[in-house]
Amino acid sequence: MKVLCISSSGGHWIQLQRIFTKLNFSDVRICSTYNHIEDDFSGFKYYQVTDFSRDDLYKIAKVFTEVVSIERNFSPDLIITTGAAPGLVACLFWSILRRKTIWVDSIANSEKVSMSGRIAKYFCSEVLTQWKHLESGKVRYVGRIL
């Protein structure tokens, strides 16, 4: 199974690192908004995408183009993201292609599911929260992930 792990920088990236280093699939690749991070993770193929937020939505088109390029080079079976906006675009794209997509909401979101997580529940295969009291509808709690 080909797996792509994607996240934005900062805490999203730290949480994704904890997930992808534990994955036991034959082909795991990583994607983030950082420059030159591949030097830190030899053995993993790395893709970079543009970071954006709701304050600069005009960058969605560029991220979409970058995700299409990853599809041409890799074509993952499973996409796992810890957010934020670039991961949401990736999950939307691959859900249209009927790939399995997993959104893991940040452990920092203890009061409510993130805005991106609330959007992701409409098209991601799985949306996971790390807080039992936030489980509702399609947003599931399956235990502590990180």
CB 46 within 8 A of CB 31: yes
What are residue 23's DSSP bridge partners?
A: none
3-state secondary structure of 76: coil
In a domain, 94, yes or no: yes
Domain hosting residue 131, numbered range: 2-141
In a domain, 146, yes or no: no
What CATH number is associated with residue 109? 3.40.50.2000
What is the model's pLDDT at position 130?
94
What is the model's pLDDT at position 136?
96
In a domain, 123, yes or no: yes
In a domain, 98, yes or no: yes
Distance CA 71, CA 74 (A): 5
Would you give per-residue pLDDT tens digits along the chain (146 residues)?
A: 999 999 999 999 989 988 888 888 889 999 999 886 655 666 788 999 999 999 999 999 999 999 999 999 999 999 999 999 999 999 999 999 999 999 999 999 999 999 999 999 999 999 999 999 999 999 999 988 77
Considering its fold, how many domains does the chain have in total?
Answer: 1
CB 79 within 8 A of CB 101: yes
What is the model's pLDDT at position 39?
58
In a domain, 49, yes or no: yes
